[in-house]
Structure 1
Amino acid sequence: MTDKQLYSNIAKLLPKSQIFTDETSRLVKGTDAGLYRLIPRMAIKVDSEEEVIRLLTFCNTKKVPLTFKAAGTSLSGQTISDSILMEIGQGFEFSSITDKGYTATFGCGLTGTAANRMLMRYKRKLGPKPASIDSAKIGGIIGNNSSGMSYGIKYNCYHTIKSMRIIFADGSLLDTGDKESCREFTTSHRELISEIEEIHRHAIQNEKIKDKISQKFRLKNTCGYGVNSLIDFDDPIQIIQHLMIGSEGTLGFVSQATFATVHDAPLKAAAMIYFPNLRDVCEAIIPLRNCAVSAAELMDRNALRAVEDQEGMPPELKSLPAYAAALLIDTSADDEETLQRQMQEIETALSHIKTLLPIKFTTDTHRYNTYWNVRNGLFTSAAAGRPKNTASIIEDIAFEAEVLGEALTDVRNLLVQSGYADAVMWGHLLDGNVHFTVFPDINSQDGVQKYAQFMHMLTDLVVTKHHGSLKAEHGTGRNMAPFVEKEWGTEIYALMKRIKKAFDPNLILNPGVIINDDKEVFIKNLKNIPAANPLIDKCIECGFCEIQCPSKNLTFTPRQRIVAYRYLAESVQTRKSNNKTVRELAKKISYPLDETCATDGLCSLACPVGINTGTLIKELRWQHNSRFSNAIAAWVANHMDSVTAFLRSLMKLPHAIAKIIGYNSMESFTRGLYKVGDGIFPLWTRYVPTGSKKIERNIFPATSAESPMVVYFPSCITRSMGGPAYGYDDHQEDVPSRMVSLLKKANYTVIIPEGKDRLCCGMAFSSKGFKKQAQKKENELNEALLKASRNGQLPIVCDMSPCLLHMRETLDSRLKLYDQVEFIHDFLLERLQFNKLPLSIAVHVTCSSTKMKLEEKMLKVALLCAEKVIVPEGITCCGWAGDRGFFYPELNHSALAPLKHCIGDAKEGYSNSRTCEIGLSVNSGISYKSLVYLVDKSTEPLS
Structure 2
Amino acid sequence: METRWLEELADILPENRLLTTLPDRFSYSFDASFGEFLPEAVVQVMSTEEVAAIIKVADQYEIPVTPRGQSTSLSGGPLPVQGGIVLDFALWSQKVEVDEENRTVTVSPGVLTADINQACEPYGLLYPPDPSSAHVSTIGGNLAENSGGPRGLKYGVTKNFVLGLEVVTPKGDVIQTGQRAGDEDLDITTLIVGSEGTLGVITEAMLKLIPKPQTTKTMMAVFDDIVDAGAAISKTLTSGIFPSKMELMDEGSIVAVENYQPSGLPADAKAVILIELDGHADALEEEAEEVSEIVKSVGARETKIAENVREAEQIWTARKMVSPAISQIKPTKISEDATVPRSKIPEMMEKLHDIRDRYDINLVVFGHAGDGNLHPDVLADKRDSEEMQRVEKAVAEMFTAAIELGGTLSGEHGIGTMKAPFLEEELGAEGVEMMKRLKKAWDPKNMMNPGKIFAESGAKLELTDG
What TM-score, normalized by structure 2, do the two folds share?
0.93
The answer (yes or no) to whether the contact 2:338–2:399 under 8 Å persists in 1 is no
The answer (yes or no) to whether the contact 1:35–1:526 under 8 Å persists in 2 is no
* Bigger RCO (CA 8 Å, 6+ sep): 2
> 2-side partners of 1:378 and 1:488: how far apart?
32
1:395-423 alpha-carbon deviations (Å, 9 max, x no partner): 11111122220111111210221121x32
The answer (yes or no) to whether the contact 2:219–2:288 under 8 Å persists in 1 is no
Shift of 1:80: 1.6
Secondary structure of the 2:396 match is helix
> 2-side partners of 1:450 and 1:525: how far apart?
10
Q: Aligned pair 1:147/2:148, yes or no?
A: yes
Secondary structure of the 2:363 match is coil
Q: Which amino acid aligns with 1:71?
A: Q
Matches within 5 A, 1:5-44: 5-44=4-43
Larger Rg: 1
Residue number among 244, 251, 275 corresponding to 1:329 in the alignment: 275
Following superposition, which runs of at least 4 residues in structure 1 exceed 4 angstroms of deviation? 524-527
Q: Which residue number corresponds to residue 213 of structure 2? A: 265
Q: Which amino acid aligns with 2:379?
A: F
Q: Which residue number corresponds to residue 98 of structure 2? A: 97
Q: Which residue number corresponds to residue 655 of structure 1? A: none
Q: Aligned pair 1:360/2:304, yes or no?
A: yes
> 1-side partners of 2:57 and 2:450: how far apart?
17
Q: Which residue number corresponds to residue 384 of structure 1? A: 328
Paired-residue identity, %: 24
> 1-side partners of 2:141 and 2:59: how far apart?
22
Structure 1 runs not aligned, ≥5 long: 183-232, 528-943
Q: Which residue number corresponds to residue 422 of structure 2? A: 483
> 2-side partners of 1:178 and 1:243: how far apart?
15
1:794-828 alpha-carbon deviations (Å, 9 max, x no partner): xxxxxxxxxxxxxxxxxxxxxxxxxxxxxxxxxxx
Q: Which residue number corresponds to residue 432 of structure 2? A: 493
The answer (yes or no) to whether the contact 2:95–2:107 under 8 Å persists in 1 is yes
Q: CA RMSD for the aligned pairs?
A: 2.2
> 1-side partners of 2:67 and 2:236: how far apart?
39
Secondary structure of the 2:44 match is strand
The answer (yes or no) to whether the contact 2:91–2:110 under 8 Å persists in 1 is yes
> 2-side partners of 1:423 and 1:65: how far apart?
37
Matches within 5 A, 1:213-252: 235-236=185-186, 238=187, 240-252=188-200
Q: Aligned pair 1:56/2:52, yes or no?
A: no
Matches within 5 A, 1:449-528: 449-464=389-404, 466-520=405-459, 522-523=461-462
1:636-689 alpha-carbon deviations (Å, 9 max, x no partner): xxxxxxxxxxxxxxxxxxxxxxxxxxxxxxxxxxxxxxxxxxxxxxxxxxxxxx
Q: Which residue number corresponds to residue 588 of structure 1? A: none
1:286-317 alpha-carbon deviations (Å, 9 max, x no partner): 33223131211101111111122455522x62
Residue number among 295, 308, 318 corresponding to 2:267 in the alignment: 318
Shift of 1:178: 6.4
Q: Which amino acid aligns with 2:266?
A: L
Q: Aligned pair 1:402/2:343, yes or no?
A: yes
Secondary structure of the 1:273 match is strand
Q: Aligned pair 1:118/2:119, yes or no?
A: yes
Return closer, same or farther for 1:520/1:61 CA change in 2, 3 Å cut-off.
same
Q: Aligned pair 1:436/2:376, yes or no?
A: yes
Shift of 1:172: 0.8
Secondary structure of the 2:267 match is helix
Residue number among 278, 282, 289 corresponding to 1:344 in the alignment: 289
Matches within 5 A, 1:409-808: 409-420=350-361, 422-464=362-404, 466-520=405-459, 522-523=461-462
Return closer, same or farther for 1:151/1:457 CA change in 2, 3 Å cut-off.
closer
Q: Which amino acid aligns with 1:489?
A: G
Residue number among 327, 334, 355 corresponding to 1:393 in the alignment: 334
The answer (yes or no) to whether the contact 1:478–1:513 under 8 Å persists in 2 is yes
Shift of 1:8: 2.0
Q: Which amino acid aligns with 2:355?
A: L
> 2-side partners of 1:101 and 1:80: how far apart?
37
The answer (yes or no) to whether the contact 1:101–1:122 under 8 Å persists in 2 is no
Q: Aligned pair 1:297/2:247, yes or no?
A: yes
Aligned residue pair count: 462
Q: Aligned pair 1:286/2:234, yes or no?
A: yes
Return closer, same or farther for 1:80/1:525 CA change in 2, 3 Å cut-off.
farther
Q: Which amino acid aligns with 1:256?
A: E
Q: Which amino acid aligns with 2:304?
A: K
Return closer, same or farther for 1:524/1:272 CA change in 2, 3 Å cut-off.
closer
The answer (yes or no) to whether the contact 2:146–2:158 under 8 Å persists in 1 is yes
> 1-side partners of 2:300 and 2:179: how far apart?
54
Q: Which amino acid aligns with 1:274?
A: V
> 2-side partners of 1:60 and 1:526: how far apart?
32
> 2-side partners of 1:116 and 1:101: how far apart?
16
Return closer, same or farther for 1:360/1:453 CA change in 2, 3 Å cut-off.
closer
Matches within 5 A, 1:50-199: 50-81=49-80, 82-100=83-101, 102-152=103-153, 154-177=155-178
Structure 2 runs not aligned, ≥5 long: none
Shift of 1:70: 1.0
Secondary structure of the 1:496 match is helix
Return closer, same or farther for 1:172/1:263 CA change in 2, 3 Å cut-off.
same
The answer (yes or no) to whether the contact 1:37–1:525 under 8 Å persists in 2 is no
Shift of 1:153: 7.5
1:830-883 alpha-carbon deviations (Å, 9 max, x no partner): xxxxxxxxxxxxxxxxxxxxxxxxxxxxxxxxxxxxxxxxxxxxxxxxxxxxxx
The answer (yes or no) to whether the contact 1:478–1:521 under 8 Å persists in 2 is no
Return closer, same or farther for 1:496/1:133 CA change in 2, 3 Å cut-off.
same
Please state which structure has a larger fraction of its residues in helix: 1
> 1-side partners of 2:179 and 2:146: how far apart?
23
Q: Which amino acid aligns with 1:46?
A: V
Shift of 1:177: 4.5
Q: Which residue number corresponds to residue 932 of structure 1? A: none
> 1-side partners of 2:465 and 2:163: how far apart?
38
Matches within 5 A, 1:794-873: none
Shift of 1:92: 4.4
The answer (yes or no) to whether the contact 1:101–1:119 under 8 Å persists in 2 is no
> 2-side partners of 1:20 and 1:276: how far apart?
54
Return closer, same or farther for 1:110/1:101 CA change in 2, 3 Å cut-off.
farther
> 2-side partners of 1:31 and 1:272: how far apart?
37
> 1-side partners of 2:406 and 2:263: how far apart?
37
Return closer, same or farther for 1:453/1:476 CA change in 2, 3 Å cut-off.
same
Return closer, same or farther for 1:263/1:433 CA change in 2, 3 Å cut-off.
same
Shift of 1:495: 1.0
> 2-side partners of 1:122 and 1:80: how far apart?
38
Secondary structure of the 1:489 match is helix
> 2-side partners of 1:276 and 1:360: how far apart?
15
Shift of 1:354: 1.4
Shift of 1:127: 2.4
The answer (yes or no) to whether the contact 2:100–2:123 under 8 Å persists in 1 is no
Shift of 1:518: 4.3
> 2-side partners of 1:410 and 1:525: how far apart?
24
Return closer, same or farther for 1:360/1:443 CA change in 2, 3 Å cut-off.
closer
Return closer, same or farther for 1:172/1:355 CA change in 2, 3 Å cut-off.
same
> 2-side partners of 1:524 and 1:306: how far apart?
24
Shift of 1:277: 1.4
Residue number among 370, 374, 379 corresponding to 2:318 in the alignment: 374
1:421-474 alpha-carbon deviations (Å, 9 max, x no partner): x3221011110111021134333543443233223322322223x121111111
The answer (yes or no) to whether the contact 2:221–2:292 under 8 Å persists in 1 is no
Q: Which amino acid aligns with 1:51?
A: E
> 2-side partners of 1:416 and 1:62: how far apart?
51
1:560-606 alpha-carbon deviations (Å, 9 max, x no partner): xxxxxxxxxxxxxxxxxxxxxxxxxxxxxxxxxxxxxxxxxxxxxxx
Q: Which amino acid aligns with 1:504?
A: D
